Amino acid sequence: MTAADERAKIIAAMSRLLDGIPLRSDGALTVVSLAVEAEVKRHVLTHRHTDLKDEFYARVRAQGHVPDSERRLRERLDQAEAQLAELREENTDLRATNEGYARVVNLLTLENAELAKGDGARVVPLRRP
């Protein structure tokens, strides 16, 4: 197959994919799908006809299409950011609780020290009824 034949097949495949009527591929707007649709090996696009590959990506961007892989990654990023926000809020709450417990422990330590001085205060056990 000549380079001109390859180019013609790639251009036809590009048009079919961008129009949403694939014949041989899954219809995804990727170089792999374009190669399958044009019945050429992927390296033909990425090494020999890079101008067509670049044109394909430019036309995909011009249509405003977001590839499924990017959409999935954006969804995962959104989920991770939401989880991070929840964990930060929980961390802030736990730090506040921990500081409260530290104050209570310090207060009890001071009270025990006062009682240990022996200034006449006595601990009286409570009687059971």
* Beta-carbon-side half-sphere exposure of residue 48 (alpha carbons within 13 Å): 14
Q: Give residues with Cβ within 8 angstroms of 54, minimum separation 6.
A: none
Residue 88 has a pLDDT of 97
Residue 118 has a pLDDT of 67
Express each pLDDT in 96-123 by its tens digit. Answer: 999 999 999 999 988 888 777 766 556 6
Residue 123 has a pLDDT of 64
Residue 120 has a pLDDT of 58
Cα(68)–Cα(38) distance, integer angstroms: 21
pLDDT along the chain (129 residues), means of 10: 88 90 87 92 90 90 76 92 97 97 93 74 71
- Stated pTM of the model: 0.53
